[in-house]
Amino acid sequence: WPEDVVQNYIYDDREDTQFEVFPPNDGTGEVEVVYSAIPKRVEEEDALSIGAEYSTIITNYVLYKCALLDSDFNGTQGLAQYYYQLFLTELKGQDESAAKQGPSPSHASAPIGANGGTE
């Protein structure tokens, strides 16, 4: 009964990293999923452990803060503003990717069928 080709899938917004497929996969197929998630709050004593998808955003924010802190002595206000704009651009890109139509049934463009699919 399991097959290597997925025909339908369903996603529950409450389960960020889990989804159901139909027909059941036999383990030889693959499904590509793109998602973004909000990282957990990091306290000062915690190690910073976030997904690779946030590395550019965090780097630009840290560079912005460094340039901003140094701006009183070295006149790096322009550099701080540059990194802040990069940070906002990347952040906006993350928001837009999260808002795109995804596998969630609540985002489906067609009625959800009895088997959970839109076909």
Percent of the chain having pLDDT more than 90? 13
- For the record, the structure tokens of 13 come out as 């917004």
Q: Report the pLDDT value the prediction gives residue 86, as an integer from 0 to 100.
A: 93
Residue 32's φ and ψ, nearest 5 degrees, are -95, 130
- Name the residue ranges covered by the structural domains of the chain: 48-101
Residue 112 has pLDDT above 60, yes or no: no
Residue 32 has pLDDT above 70, yes or no: yes
Decide: 118 and 110 in contact? Cβ < 8 Å.
yes
Rounded distance between C-alpha atoms, residue 2 and residue 119, angstroms: 19
pTM: 0.44
Average pLDDT of the residues in 83-97: 82
